[in-house]
Structure 1
Amino acid sequence: MIKLLALDMDGTLLNSQKQLTEPQIKAIHRAVESGVKLVLCTGRMLTGVKPYFDQLGLDAENEYVIVNNGCSTHQTSDWKLIDWAELSPDDIRYLTTFIPESEMQLTLFDEEHYYVLDDEPNEYSRADANLVFVEPTILSMEEATNQSRHLFQAMFVGTKEATEAFETKHAATLNQHFDAVRSQDVLLEILPTGTNKASALKKLAEHLQILPEEIMAMGDANNDIEMLEFAGLSIAMGNANDHVKSLADDVTDTNDCDGVAKAIYKHILH
Structure 2
Amino acid sequence: MKPHRTDHFPHFGGQTMISLPIQLIGLDLDGTLLGTDSCVHARERDTLQRARQAGVSVAITTGRSLLDALPHAEAAGGVDWLITENGARITSASGETIFRHPLTKRHTAQLLQLCERHGVEPSLYGEDCVWYGAACRGFFRAVSRILGRDIPLDLRHYTFVTSRKEWHALSGQLLYKAVVYGDTHKLDAWLSELRRTAQYEAEPSVFCGLKNIEINAAGTDKGSALLYLTKHLGLSREQVMACGDSDNDRTMLSAAGLGVAMGNAPQHIRAQADAVTESNENHGVSRAVERFVLQNV
Report the TM range for the smaller structure's normalisation.
Answer: 0.7 to 0.9
CA displacement, residues 11-69 of structure 1 (integer Å, 9 cap, x when unaligned): 000011101101111110111111111010000101111111112224xxx71100000
Rounded to whole Å, the distance in 2 between the matches of 1:88 and 1:131 is 31
Which residue is 1:258 aligned to? Answer: 283
Which residue is 2:53 aligned to? Answer: 33
Give the secondary structure class of the aligned counterpart of 1:217: strand
Q: Which amino acid aligns with 1:35?
A: G
Which residue is 1:134 aligned to? Answer: 155
**1:81: Cα distance to partner?**
2.1
Q: Which amino acid aligns with 2:59?
A: V
Give the secondary structure class of the aligned counterpart of 1:145: helix
CA displacement, residues 104-159 of structure 1 (integer Å, 9 cap, x when unaligned): 3211111221113x57853226789x75522541351442123xx3111111023x
Counterparts in 2 of 1:43 and 1:51: CA distance versus 1, 3 Å: same
Which residue is 1:177 aligned to? Answer: 199
Q: Structure 1 residue 100 and structure 2 residue 119: aligned?
A: no
Rounded to whole Å, the distance in 2 between the matches of 1:115 and 1:123 is 14
Which residue is 1:143 aligned to? Answer: 169
- The answer on whether the counterparts of 1:48 and 1:131 sit within 8 Å (CA) in structure 2 is no
Which residue is 2:212 aligned to? Answer: 187
Which residue is 2:83 aligned to? Answer: 66
- The answer on whether the counterparts of 2:118 and 2:189 sit within 8 Å (CA) in structure 1 is no
Match of 1:80 among 96, 101, 116: 96
Aligned length: 258
- The answer on whether the counterparts of 1:219 and 1:228 sit within 8 Å (CA) in structure 2 is yes
Q: Structure 1 residue 220 and structure 2 residue 245: aligned?
A: yes
Match of 2:227 among 202, 207, 210: 202
Rounded to whole Å, the distance in 2 between the matches of 1:131 and 1:105 is 22
Rounded to whole Å, the distance in 1 between the matches of 2:272 and 2:101 is 27
Which residue is 2:7 aligned to? Answer: none
Counterparts in 2 of 1:80 and 1:109: CA distance versus 1, 3 Å: same
Counterpart mapping for 1:16-55 below 5 A:
16-55=36-75
Rounded to whole Å, the distance in 2 between the matches of 1:132 and 1:45 is 12
Rounded to whole Å, the distance in 2 between the matches of 1:212 and 1:166 is 40
Counterparts in 2 of 1:121 and 1:195: CA distance versus 1, 3 Å: closer
Give the secondary structure class of the aligned counterpart of 1:49: helix
Q: Tell me which protein shows more helix as a share of its residues.
A: 2
Which residue is 1:91 aligned to? Answer: 107
Structure 1 regions of 5+ residues with no counterpart?
A: none
Question: Normalised by the size of structure 2, how large is the TM-score?
Answer: 0.80
- The answer on whether the counterparts of 2:203 and 2:213 sit within 8 Å (CA) in structure 1 is yes
> Which moves more between the two structures, 65-74 or 105-114?
105-114
Rounded to whole Å, the distance in 2 between the matches of 1:172 and 1:124 is 21
Give the secondary structure class of the aligned counterpart of 2:155: coil
Counterparts in 2 of 1:216 and 1:94: CA distance versus 1, 3 Å: same
Structure 2 regions of 5+ residues with no counterpart?
A: 1-20, 145-150
Q: Which amino acid aligns with 1:11?
A: G
- The answer on whether the counterparts of 2:121 and 2:181 sit within 8 Å (CA) in structure 1 is yes
Which residue is 2:9 aligned to? Answer: none
- The answer on whether the counterparts of 1:105 and 1:157 sit within 8 Å (CA) in structure 2 is yes
Q: Which amino acid aligns with 1:63?
A: D
**1:252: Cα distance to partner?**
0.4
Rounded to whole Å, the distance in 2 between the matches of 1:251 and 1:264 is 12
**1:240: Cα distance to partner?**
0.3
> Which moves more between the two structures, 203-212 or 87-96?
87-96
Q: Which amino acid aligns with 2:138?
A: E
Runs of 4+ off more than 4 Å: 118-121, 125-128
* RMSD of equivalent CA atoms: 2.2
